[in-house]
Amino acid sequence: MNGMEGAMTAPDDQGRTVYEDEGVRLWQSSGPSDDGVAILSFKSKGHTLGPEVLEGIVAAVAHAEAHCKGMVIWQSKAPFSFGANLKSMAAMVQAGAFEQADQYIARFQQMTATLKYARVPVVAGVYGMALGGGCEVVMHCARAVAAAESNIGLVEAGVGLLPAGGGCKEFALRAAQAAEEGDSWACIEAAFATIFSATASRDAQQALEKGFLRAADLIVPDVAAVLPTARQAALTLSNGGYTPPSPARDIRVAGRDGIARLEATLAARREAGEISAHDVRVGRAIAAALCGGDVDTGTRVNEDDLLTVERRAFAELLKTEETQQRIAHTMATGKPLRN
């Protein structure tokens, strides 16, 4: 665990609340120091992303679009976010409420899309850990500002799942963009290795190398610099006439051939005794999400198609006994189960 976990970096002025609900608080500085940028913080333990936080984020973006120049997601106490609420997920599984779990994932995807396509710039101010769904929040913001020692990563495979809040989709989009330069397969292989390993970066620089941060994102050496730098980044984008991206269409995917190549890698590792049969199942799901699902190689899809593959793969894994055992074990011990 990073030494920043639990550290307080609250500014002297946490301002006036402009929106608050069960899951989040949105505030702006008071008086002359108000720069028009709103700060969003999560109220959940570990800043996990349960249903109430998802709804709060969407509502906060709507407020920022109507009243602010931009929005920064920042926590006064680390971590940035431990991701999806495993306790809520386990309760749904125990109750056999798989349709409810699917609705939760669909809403999670809607939340990250809301961040990405917000009419005002949304900046992630990161220090400590941003894991799983917390990493997906970072990946969907217009910019991220991360403290140098931040630990960022998609760790879902460790509990027998895959990133389904848009994380696989974002890597698939980058692979499609790389295809224009003739290097899409290397991008897919790297993304697969990163997601399948289920490990967080040791620092922000490695997060950049792994693709959790982008070239335009900023790394700052001092935790105290995260919030002011993130606010300035939001202002700079806003003052520059910020226009959100449009949802990607006509995305060329690797399809069945790509999945088969990644499955061959999994089979070799299984034969060598490096991974379990359930690891192979998880890996196949990740491969499908990165390659656009069961379609011909070179098929053109849109973002919603990629999100559907993610969500369906997540739902199938969640129904397996092995994944349910991994979730329960991680909740009880804080450690992964290799079954």
Instruction: Determine contact, residues 71/61, Cβ cutoff 8 Å.
Output: yes
Q: What is the pLDDT of residue 7?
A: 47
For residue 17, what is the DSSP state? E
- Looking at domain 1-155+199-244, what is its CATH homologous superfamily? 2-enoyl-CoA Hydratase; Chain A, domain 1 (3.90.226.10)
Instruction: Determine contact, residues 160/202, Cβ cutoff 8 Å.
Output: no
Tokens 């269409």 correspond to 249
Q: What is d(CA 24, CA 54) in angstroms, rounded to the nearest whole number?
A: 9
The dihedral through the CA atoms of 173, 174, 180, 183 has a sign that is negative
Please give the structure tokens belonging to residue 93. 């599984």
Instruction: Determine contact, residues 262/74, Cβ cutoff 8 Å.
Output: no
Domain ranges of the chain: 1-155+199-244, 159-198+246-339
Helix or strand or coil: residue 216? coil
Q: Which residue ranges in the chain fall short of pLDDT 50? A: 1-9, 12
Q: What is d(CA 267, CA 277) in angstroms, rounded to the nearest whole number?
A: 9
Q: What is d(CA 5, CA 134) in angstroms, rounded to the nearest whole number?
A: 14
Q: What is the pLDDT of residue 11?
A: 52
Q: Comparing C-alpha atoms, which of 66, 12, 49, 254 is closest to residue 134? A: 49
